[in-house]
């Protein structure tokens, strides 16, 4: 069985993997998207199915006010004592010298729940991870943030403290067990016990094109930890810029039933036309290479001999685009349907932004068979933004929706949106002109603050006063084209080509500042504060070959 990377395409970064019997689970970061933490399931490490997003209520997660690319960072999923343990950060501030990063624990007897209310652990840094030692003691690891350090590297090392299950809190001394290498920015810790050693896997170099996974080990839990002589077990930083899988790092390791080892890791796939051959290796063209799909999850086969550091089975530290799978029977999963309706609620691939109070944003019961989205705050809101969307998981795709709305005025608008964040989006919207006539327009924002500005690529297009409107977009790598159709009519191209590469990690402030990925979906806005709605009757998403 061959496995082609990535195994979780589209925005699925910071993978944490665990095996429970014959079942494998990967948890990935969701940042400001609600509900929090995606968990996929597989029986063969090749075919994966989304099974749950466990952080689905205010007593576990409330991200209203969190910045773009804040929220849930780097979950750690483990299994011990007959239950699942999920550790995660909720990052409330991520710019400047300080970070407000609160680390929490929830538990469940089954992957399907019920998941407990959260327990606050600490707020000293991000990327928390829970290690269950052989003696039954539990240790929380996280990177520690040092706001006093100069020069941009405020990563103060990997710290560890014991967690008391009985008291539901951290206890005892805090140990700084590893300060990383000269590659700097040490984060993403995972600890393993094997052959009398404690192996510490970390991420280094930041999550841009210098990203890497670094291994160290110690005979003693508290160190000192000796860095692998090879330094990086995984990285793309020294590969040709045309290598498909870039930005490889932030990894975790799993052992199969038969003793094989595999490493899951994040990576990105820059659009081919944005890759740049870099002849000076000290220069990385982060502002040129662009990855709308964001950071994805891939998998590598490891060779981990007794008493040795692990190595990629194919040799070298660069990730492979195809590997030999495990000695397991293949276990296919059903594909996500291309066309979705809303009779049975919101389909599982869709999420919304920040708030646990979803009833304020949308309903699948107020109008039978429709998704009713209530217009709330503007597209730049970090509090109540009524946007329901799914990940872009292919370089080329088509998306369509059908909506019914009668805009009361120009402050009421709704439609189809290609979204990365509050300063990166393309929006085909039904609204009203100043005379109250129904029109179609495009709002486009293709940069980060302070460069962000809304552009209006087309003059408002008159629409019939009532009746359903179909909206569509066709994305071909770095180009997006919007189209529309009135009731009973043919599709009409809006006549503009928008820059889809701007809906990416690297556009604007660049990698290391943007952490999510492109979405496409439905939204409604009402900046008058009256909460006027739009009804969406269906949504279609189809990946296409280039």
- The residues annotated as belonging to the active site are 384
d(CA 92, CA 98): 10
Tokens standing for residue 378? 């503007």
Cα dihedral across residues 474, 247, 53, 446: positive or negative: negative
d(CA 354, CA 205): 29
Q: Count the Cβ atoms, other than its own, within 10 Å of residue 192.
A: 18
| Inter-residue long-range contacts of 275-281, CB under 8 Å, 24+ positions, other chains counted | 275/241, 275/242, 276/241, 277/240, 277/241, 277/242, 278/241, 281/238
User: What is the SS3 assignment for 360?
Assistant: helix
d(CA 119, CA 105): 5
The 8-class DSSP code of residue 395 comes to S
Task: Provide the residue count of the chain.
Answer: 546
d(CA 170, CA 189): 18
Cα dihedral across residues 314, 316, 322, 327: positive or negative: positive
d(CA 78, CA 83): 9
Tally DSSP H helices, then E strands, for the chain. Answer: 0, 39
What's the farthest any 2 CA atoms get from each other in the chain? Answer: 77
The 8-class DSSP code of residue 54 comes to -
């Amino acid at each position: 069985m061959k496995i082609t990377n990535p195994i979780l395409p589209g925005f699925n970064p910071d993978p944490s993997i665990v095996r429970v019997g014959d079942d494998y689970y990967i948890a990935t970061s969701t940042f400001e998207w609600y509900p929090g933490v995606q968990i996929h399931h597989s029986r063969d490490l090749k075919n994966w199915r989304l099974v749950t997003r466990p952080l689905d209520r205010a007593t576990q997660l409330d991200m209203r006010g969190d910045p773009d690319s804040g929220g849930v960072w780097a979950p750690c999923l483990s299994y011990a004592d007959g239950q699942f343990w999920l550790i995660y950060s909720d990052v409330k501030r991520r710019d400047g010298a300080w970070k407000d990063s609160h680390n929490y624990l929830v538990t469940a007897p089954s992957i399907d729940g019920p998941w407990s209310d959260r327990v606050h652990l600490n707020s000293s840094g991000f990327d928390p991870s829970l290690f269950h030692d052989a003696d039954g003691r539990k240790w929380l690891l996280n990177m520690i943030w040092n706001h006093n350090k100069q020069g941009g590297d405020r990563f103060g090392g990997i710290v560890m403290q014991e967690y008391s299950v009985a008291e539901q809190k951290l206890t005892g001394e805090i140990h700084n067990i590893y300060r990383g290498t000269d590659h700097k920015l040490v984060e993403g810790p995972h600890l393993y016990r094997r052959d009398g050693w404690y192996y510490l896997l970390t991420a280094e170099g930041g999550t841009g094109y210098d990203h890497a996974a670094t291994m160290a080990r110690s005979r003693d839990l508290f160190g000192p930890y000796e860095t692998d002589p090879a330094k990086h077990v995984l990285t793309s930083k020294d590969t040709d810029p045309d290598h498909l899988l870039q930005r490889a790092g932030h990894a975790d390791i799993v052992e199969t039933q038969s003793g094989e080892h595999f490493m899951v890791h994040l990576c990105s796939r820059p659009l081919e036309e944005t890759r740049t051959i870099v002849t000076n290796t000290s220069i990385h063209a982060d502002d040129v290479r662009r990855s709308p799909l964001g950071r994805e999850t891939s998998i590598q086969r490891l060779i981990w001999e007794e008493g040795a550091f692990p190595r990629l089975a194919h040799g070298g530290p660069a990730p492979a685009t195809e590997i030999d799978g495990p000695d397991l029977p293949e276990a296919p999963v059903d594909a996500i349907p291309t066309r979705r309706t809303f009779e049975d609620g919101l389909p599982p691939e869709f999420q919304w932004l920040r708030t646990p109070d979803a009833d304020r944003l949308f309903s699948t019961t107020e109008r039978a068979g429709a998704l009713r989205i209530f217009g709330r705050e503007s597209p730049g809101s970090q509090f109540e933004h009524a946007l329901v969307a799914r990940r872009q998981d292919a370089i080329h795709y088509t998306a369509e929706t059908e909506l019914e709305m009668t805009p009361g005025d120009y402050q009421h608008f709704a439609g189809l949106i290609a979204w990365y964040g509050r300063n990166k989006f393309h929006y085909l919207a039904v609204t009203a002109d100043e005379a109250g006539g129904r029109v179609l327009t495009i709002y486009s924002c293709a940069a980060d603050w302070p460069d962000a500005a809304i552009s209006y690529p087309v003059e408002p297009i008159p629409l019939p006063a009532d009746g359903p409107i179909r909206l569509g977009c066709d994305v071909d790598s770095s180009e997006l084209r919007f189209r529309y159709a009135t009731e009973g009519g043919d599709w009409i191209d809006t006549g503009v080509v928008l820059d889809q590469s701007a809906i990416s990690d690297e556009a604007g402030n660049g990698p290391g500042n943007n952490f999510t990925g492109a979405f496409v979906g439905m939204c409604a806005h009402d900046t008058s504060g009256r909460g006027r709605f739009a009804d969406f009757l269906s949504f279609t998403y189809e990946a296409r070959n280039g």
